[in-house]
């Protein structure tokens, strides 16, 4: 190790420092291996999850025999066994949530560096706040498909995780879009999942699938439309209705895709500017064109002169096939429901997936929306962001490099609040640690990895600016339940974990997480039903102080009591206005994927202004790649991917005589395909394939040499 780093102080601090790794998944597995191979001797890994079969393709510390076990424990054991060399190497596993109250500020203070390898915003925000409160540097990371990002957060030195404003976890859709006017495949998929829940799952009125009369666009017609329903005896739930009809597939089919669609057509306002849906009756299914493949779905495709047959799950079903799958899965789910009770939708449950794929495609057909293959439905319905092992492996390498750079610059081994003599350290961190992006290669951006100076803290940040932020929240006190305010606004929107709500200026606690946790089952049932207006002190213009003792974080909220139409507010029952005070900067609000791209592009635009700086940045890139080679990411820089397709471009432009053709081996569902690529050429494999090897052709033939890229997994 000394030979590699040539700096005894650094070697010592690597050995001495204590690292907390939050997350033992795709990136976590890479990081723990890298840390141990680098010589770190005190690593704690915390993860709440257990190992699932679907993790095994990329979380390489795990194998089949570990399924169901704690990620943290297995990762710690396997990594220790394989990568720890030398004595006194201490790898701790914690099988728990990092958001648990046990892990307070003093717990965080006991570490030199915290590393986030998480997959959700709520936990990331929490660790961000804990590290700010404990004044411990945090390395934040993320990957999404071929994109990735790593950056260092140090209190008052660089931007924190929440400096860029509110982040959104998942896309949600207004109920009237789902129930009345879908226009995208995802709308029909969400509707199909709701139908599954209505028929076989836990009863949830939010998941209603019938035409929505509360849609503001049909307000003028409501009375007329209601009349029709009241003639039809008592209203019944979708499930009651289905049970009454013994889940008869033809009856259900006609109701869902014909009668309900005809009813929607009566809401004439909806179709003034939209394409009208077409009802689909069971008797229509025999018609010839419903038994043919849609033109977009051919059963084979040509790739590099060779023809590959498309796999079963990638074909788009005919309408007739959709009905057959619908009918079969309905029958099987009914039997399971009668035996097991409520079912939970799971993308890996073949029958449940078949049901959603068939139903969503039938609905798409009615609304003239593009139909999707079962494979596409699976990834859309499961909210699956593709996770790619090589992206995680590069990100894992970059995190480790950032950790080393941090240690080189953390001269003062103290966690005290910011002292004047720490400004040297702050500058050193600012100058040496980087904001790093992994993104697609294009002509004007030839490098896979770009690094930039850390962003400055946002003076208006709700979390790290040092002042208590003031927020106005508008909602209707007479209609909103306290539990919804706490769960949707405080937990989900503002990322609190353990809040107390007081009237500002008094010590009177109105609601407290601790107290709520102590309630008996009976008390909880009562609390659940309390409206905000049931709390006497909650009135228009009241100022609340919400304080999270665990996160050491407070927000002042002024409540504005006002009724408004939820449909005009994207279905949300509250509106938030953040009072930015006197300091004003450009506010940013981006969704996660775009954010990664946009930030990189923005930063890139800035550097283009100054070409000497760009050269410097490019040099840094190359250094990153070279150092990465030490980290078991061999020669990965020679292969580039295009976004959203598995296009591999061989960008090795060495002299003609050295050049080698490349072989790409890809696998899908056990079938292997091999494609050759000329040096400098490119290949596009099927989107759903898993690329398993990229290798020089001559070396494959002679059965020797390195893989340029190969999935690694330990036995
Ligand atoms: Zn911040």
| Model pLDDT, residue 592 | 41
Q: Please report whether residue 547 resides in a domain.
A: yes
| Model pLDDT, residue 54 | 74
Distance 466 CA to ligand 1 centre (A): 9
Q: Encoding tokens for residue 654?
A: 């060495």
| Model pLDDT, residue 452 | 86
Distance 107 CA to ligand 1 centre (A): 22
Nearest residue to 440 (alpha-carbon basis) of 144, 660, 119: 144
Average pLDDT over residues 248-268: 93
Q: Is 438 helix (H, G, I), strand (E, B) or coil?
A: strand
Q: Which domain covers residue 349, as residue numbers?
A: 175-381
Distance 121 CA to ligand 1 centre (A): 14
Distance 105 CA to ligand 1 centre (A): 18
DSSP 649-681: EE-----GGG---EEEEEEETTEEEEEEE-TT-
Distance 458 CA to ligand 1 centre (A): 6
| Model pLDDT, residue 53 | 79
Q: Give the CA-trace dihedral at 114, 118, 122, 123, to 10 degrees.
A: -40
Strand order, beta sheet including 449-453 = 90-94, 42-46, 18-22, 113-116, 138-144, 147-153, 434-438, 449-453
Residue 241's contacts (CB-CB under 8 Å, 6 or more residues apart) are: 255
| Model pLDDT, residue 680 | 52
Annotated binding site for ATP: 23-28, 47, 55-58, 71, 97-98, 119-124
DSSP 360-400: HHHHHHHTTPPP--HHHHHHHHTTPPP--HHHHHHHHHHHH
**pLDDT of 301 above 90:** no
Phi, psi of 243 (to 5 degrees): -65, -40
Q: pLDDT-based confidence at 666, cuts 50/70/90? A: low
**pLDDT of 126 above 80:** yes
Confirm whether 131 is a catalytic residue.
no
Distance 358 CA to ligand 1 centre (A): 45
Last residue of a domain, one of 403, 423, 453: 453
| Model pLDDT, residue 611 | 33
CA distances from 653 to 271, 640, 648, 657, 680 (A): 56, 13, 15, 11, 6
| Model pLDDT, residue 712 | 30
Q: Name residue, tokens 């990189």.
A: 600
| Model pLDDT, residue 380 | 83
Same domain, yes or no: 569 and 689:
no
Average pLDDT over residues 97-119: 94
Q: Encoding tokens for residue 605?
A: 């635009």
| Model pLDDT, residue 311 | 63
Nearest residue to 193 (alpha-carbon basis) of 463, 1, 383, 400: 383
Nearest residue to 118 (alpha-carbon basis) of 247, 1, 27: 27
Same domain, yes or no: 143 and 123:
yes
Which one has a higher pLDDT value, 255 or 385? 255
Same domain, yes or no: 548 and 407:
no
Q: pLDDT-based confidence at 88, cuts 50/70/90? A: confident
Residue 333: give its domain's CATH number: 1.10.10.520
User: E-assigned strands of 177-279?
Assistant: none
Same domain, yes or no: 270 and 350:
yes
Q: Please report whether residue 711 resides in a domain.
A: yes
Alpha carbons 540 and 298: distance in angstroms, whole number: 61
Same domain, yes or no: 415 and 369:
no
Q: Please report whether residue 155 resides in a domain.
A: yes
Nearest residue to 363 (alpha-carbon basis) of 328, 322, 316: 322
Residue 120: give its domain's CATH number: 3.40.50.720
pLDDT by residue (tens digit) across 29-64?
Answer: 999 999 999 999 999 999 998 888 778 888 999 999
pLDDT by residue (tens digit) across 321-363?
Answer: 999 999 999 999 999 999 988 888 888 899 999 999 999 999 9
Partners of 627 in beta bridges: none
Same domain, yes or no: 320 and 391:
no
Q: Please report whether residue 652 resides in a domain.
A: yes
Annotated binding site for Zn(2+): 160, 163, 461, 464
Same domain, yes or no: 241 and 359:
yes
Marked catalytic residue, from 29, 131, 176, 258:
176
| Model pLDDT, residue 674 | 63
- Long-range pairs for 78-84 at CB < 8 Å and ≥24 separation? 78/714, 79/29, 79/32, 79/33, 79/36, 80/36, 82/33, 82/714, 83/32, 83/33, 83/36, 83/37, 84/36
Q: Please report whether residue 458 resides in a domain.
A: no
How high does pLDDT run on average in the chain? Answer: 77
Q: Please report whether residue 280 resides in a domain.
A: yes
Which one has a higher pLDDT value, 48 or 616? 48
Same domain, yes or no: 391 and 377:
no
Query: Any idea what DSSP says for residue 692?
Result: E
User: Which range is least confidently modeled, 448-452, 463-467, 630-634?
Assistant: 630-634
Average pLDDT over residues 269-280: 87
- Per the document, the length of the chain is 715
User: Which range is least confidently modeled, 122-126, 163-167, 308-312?
Assistant: 308-312
Alpha carbons 158 and 435: distance in angstroms, whole number: 10
Same domain, yes or no: 9 and 110:
yes
Same domain, yes or no: 126 and 10:
yes
Q: Encoding tokens for residue 678?
A: 């000329």
Q: Name residue, tokens 């014909």.
A: 258
Nearest residue to 622 (alpha-carbon basis) of 606, 607, 638, 641: 638
Same domain, yes or no: 371 and 482:
no
Alpha carbons 120 and 169: distance in angstroms, whole number: 7
| Model pLDDT, residue 618 | 36
Alpha carbons 47 and 93: distance in angstroms, whole number: 8
Annotated binding site: 23-28, 47, 55-58, 71, 97-98, 119-124, 160, 163, 461, 464
User: Which range is least confidently modeled, 10-24, 75-89, 248-262, 414-428?
Assistant: 414-428
| Model pLDDT, residue 591 | 38
**pLDDT of 642 above 60:** no
In the structure, ligand 1 is a single-atom ion and the residues with CB under 5 Å from it are 160, 163, 461, 463-464
| Model pLDDT, residue 500 | 93
Average pLDDT over residues 641-659: 42
Share of the chain above pLDDT 70, in %: 70
Distance 154 CA to ligand 1 centre (A): 10
Structural domain count of the chain: 4
Residue 527's contacts (CB-CB under 8 Å, 6 or more residues apart) are: 482, 483, 516, 519
Same domain, yes or no: 369 and 390:
no
pLDDT by residue (tens digit) across 151-191?
Answer: 999 999 999 998 876 554 445 567 778 888 898 888 899 99
pLDDT by residue (tens digit) across 477-535?
Answer: 999 999 999 988 999 889 999 999 999 888 888 999 988 888 888 888 888 889 999 99
Alpha carbons 291 and 110: distance in angstroms, whole number: 66
Last residue of a domain, one of 579, 609, 642: 579
Distance 621 CA to ligand 1 centre (A): 27
**pLDDT of 636 above 60:** no
Which one has a higher pLDDT value, 599 or 14? 14
């Amino acid at each position: 190790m000394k030979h590699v780093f040539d700096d005894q102080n650094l070697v010592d601090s690597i050995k001495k420092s204590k690292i907390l790794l939050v997350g033992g998944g795709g990136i976590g597995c890479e990081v723990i291996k890298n840390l141990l191979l680098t010589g770190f001797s005190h690593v704690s890994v915390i993860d709440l999850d257990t190992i699932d079969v679907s993790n095994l393709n990329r979380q390489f510390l795990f194998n089949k025999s570990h399924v169901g076990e704690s990620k943290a424990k297995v990762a710690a054991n396997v990594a220790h066994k394989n990568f720890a060399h030398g004595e006194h190497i201490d790898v701790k596993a914690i099988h728990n949530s990092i958001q648990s109250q046990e892990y307070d500020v003093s717990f965080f203070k006991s570490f030199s560096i915290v590393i986030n390898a998480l997959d959700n915003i709520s936990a990331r925000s929490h660790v961000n706040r804990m590290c700010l409160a404990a004044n411990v540097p945090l390395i934040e990371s993320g990957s999404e498909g071929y994109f990735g990002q790593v950056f260092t957060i140090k209190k008052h030195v660089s931007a924190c995780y929440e400096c860029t404003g509110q982040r959104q976890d998942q896309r949600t859709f207004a109920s009237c879009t789902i129930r009345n006017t879908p226009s995208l495949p995802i709308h029909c998929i969400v509707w199909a999942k709701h139908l599954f829940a209505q028929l076989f799952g836990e009863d949830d009125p939010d998941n209603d699938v019938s035409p929505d009369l509360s849609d503001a666009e049909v307000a003028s017609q409501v009375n007329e439309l209601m009349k029709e329903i009241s003639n039809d005896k008592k209203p019944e739930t979708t499930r009651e209705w289905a049970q009454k009809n013994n889940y008869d597939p033809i009856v259900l089919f006609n109701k869902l895709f014909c009668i309900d669609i005809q009813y929607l057509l009566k809401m004439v306002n909806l179709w003034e500017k939209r394409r009208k849906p077409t009802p689909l009756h069971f008797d229509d299914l025999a018609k010839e064109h419903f038994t043919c493949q849609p033109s977009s779905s051919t059963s084979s495709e040509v790739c590099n002169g060779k023809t590959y047959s498309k796999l079963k799950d990638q074909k788009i079903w005919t309408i007739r096939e959709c009905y057959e799958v619908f009918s079969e899965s309905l029958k099987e789910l009914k039997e399971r429901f009668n035996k097991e009770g409520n079912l939970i939708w799971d993308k890996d449950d073949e029958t449940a997936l078949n049901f959603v794929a068939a139903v969503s495609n039938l609905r798409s057909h009615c609304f003239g929306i593009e139909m999707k293959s079962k494979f596409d439905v699976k990834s859309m319905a499961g909210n699956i962001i593709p996770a790619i092992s090589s992206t995680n492996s590069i990100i894992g390498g970059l995190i480790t490099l950032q950790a080393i750079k941090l240690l080189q610059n953390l001269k003062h081994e103290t966690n005290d609040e910011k002292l004047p003599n720490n400004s040297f350290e702050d500058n050193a961190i600012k100058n040496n640690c980087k904001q790093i992006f992994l993104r697609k290669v294009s002509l004007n951006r030839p490098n896979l990895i770009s690094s930039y100076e850390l962003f400055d803290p946002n003076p208006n940040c709700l979390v790290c600016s040092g002042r208590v932020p003031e927020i106005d929240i508008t909602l209707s006190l007479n209609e909103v339940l306290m539990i919804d305010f706490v769960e949707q606004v405080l937990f989900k929107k503002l990322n609190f974990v353990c809040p107390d709500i007081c009237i500002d200026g008094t010590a009177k606690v109105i609601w407290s997480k601790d107290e709520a946790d102590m309630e008996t089952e009976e008390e909880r049932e009562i609390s659940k039903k309390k409206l905000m207006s049931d709390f006497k002190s909650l009135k228009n213009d009241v100022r609340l102080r919400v304080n999270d003792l665990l996160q050491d974080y407070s927000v002042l909220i002024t409540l504005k009591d006002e009724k408004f139409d939820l449909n005009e507010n994207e279905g949300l029952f509250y509106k938030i206005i953040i009072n930015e005070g006197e300091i004003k900067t450009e506010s940013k609000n981006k969704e996660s994927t775009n954010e990664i791209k946009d930030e990189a592009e923005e930063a890139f635009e800035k550097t283009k202004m100054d070409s000497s700086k760009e050269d410097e940045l490019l040099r840094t890139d190359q250094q990153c790649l070279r150092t990465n080679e030490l980290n078991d990411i061999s020669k990965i820089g020679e292969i580039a991917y295009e976004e959203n397709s598995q296009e591999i471009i061989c960008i090795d432009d060495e002299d003609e005589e050295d050049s080698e053709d490349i072989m790409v081996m890809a696998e899908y569902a056990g079938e292997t395909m091999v494609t050759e690529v000329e040096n400098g050429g490119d290949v596009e494999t099927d989107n759903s394939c898993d690329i398993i090897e990229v290798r020089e052709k001559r070396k494959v033939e002679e059965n020797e040499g390195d893989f340029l890229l190969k999935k690694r997994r330990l036995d």
